[in-house]
Amino acid sequence: MKYLHVYALFLMCVFLTSRGHSQTNVLKDNIQTKDTISSYGPDRMVRNVKQDRNGNILIASFKDVFRYDGKLFTNLTSTIKSPSFWDVMEDRKGNLWFATRDSGVYCYNGKSFQHFTTAEGLASNHTCLIYEDKTGNIWFGTGGGASRYDGKSFRNFTTKDGLPNNNITTIMEDKTGKFWFGSTGEACFYDGKKFTVLRNKDGKAFNNVRSIIENRKGHIWFGATIIEDKKGSTLFVSAGLWRYDGSTFTKVTQTGASAIIEDKNGNIWTTGAVNPNGVGDWVLSRYDEKSLYDIKPTVTKIMSINKMLCGIVEANDGSIWFGSMNGVYHYNGKTIEDFKK
């Protein structure tokens, strides 16, 4: 257990405004864009890394959003006046979506942008993540709750509807149709009727869940902290990577997991802080598929650095891309490459 005095570093996603459950028709405005190209990647924090249908790597950095085609980086947001970008995603129609720190979200069709804010019904202009569900709805995790966009209007889910916390950091739909929500507070799932807070066998809630996935065996994996004790304003917390099989929560490791993916071979990859307060070394780890359900799974630490590591994606060639405080990294199975000048 560690003191939480410096936990603010791990909670950099500070959310601001909040709106209630609503449904609002969307009015759209178009902003033209001009791409810029470079041989170098971003040198600012990269929160999330994704891949588009053509195999290009999409990089959401605090400065701009970039597309990497294997040779060059194309700046897709050079004309957008936003202080930082938190997430990027290509939807099934081929549109690119960008989440910003305080300017709402943008949709890019390859030629122009459409801008969505609270004026159009978004729960908050502070958007942290983007997710597309099985039916094609686009979800946004915001500082004011979860927003669902059906292509015409937004529907917002907040604490008024049963969410335990409005500061949504991750959303995932499982194979049964339940939606799982992580936040800077408590995590929960939604069965279409009610929200259920996740609690361990001692009845303690899982907090600060930044990433949730369902692996091929149908088990839910997530990183979380648990408040073990509180003395005055000081919280004593434990952290780790957890697995849920539908009835039991199992702590896989004490190393934190702020981002999680399952690769093509069934291995689990995470980025996370060694200490629950987020200060000190952060590691990129791979948990071997053959030992995932052992008492002590085989884990390989690919990279350790005294800076925050963020989102992960596996490229079509099996290589791993991940974000950091100072740019984006690429791991080809042998070496790690950055793209700075």
- The answer to whether 181 touches 190, Cβ cutoff 8 Å, is yes
Cα atoms in the 13 Å half-sphere on the side-chain side of 198: 33
Task: Please give the share of the chain, as a percent, with pLDDT higher than 70.
Answer: 89
- Indicate the pTM of the whole model: 0.89
Summarised one tens digit per residue, pLDDT across range 115-151 is 999 999 999 999 999 999 999 999 999 999 999 999 9
Q: What are phi and psi of 175, to 5 degrees?
A: -65, -20
What integer pLDDT is reported at residue 153 of this predicted model? 97
The whole-number average pLDDT for the span 240-268 is 96
Question: At residue 114, does pLDDT exceed 60?
Answer: yes
CA atoms within 13 A on the CB side of 193: 0
pLDDT of residue 340: 86
* pLDDT at residue 82, rounded to an integer: 61
pLDDT bin (cut points 50, 70, 90) of residue 335 is very high
pLDDT at 34: 56
Ramachandran sector of residue 145 (left: φ over 0; alpha: ψ -120 to 50; beta: rest): left
Rounded mean pLDDT, 333-340 = 94
Output the pLDDT for position 234.
87
Q: What is the mean pLDDT of residues 230-259?
A: 93
Q: Is the pLDDT of residue 49 over 80?
A: yes
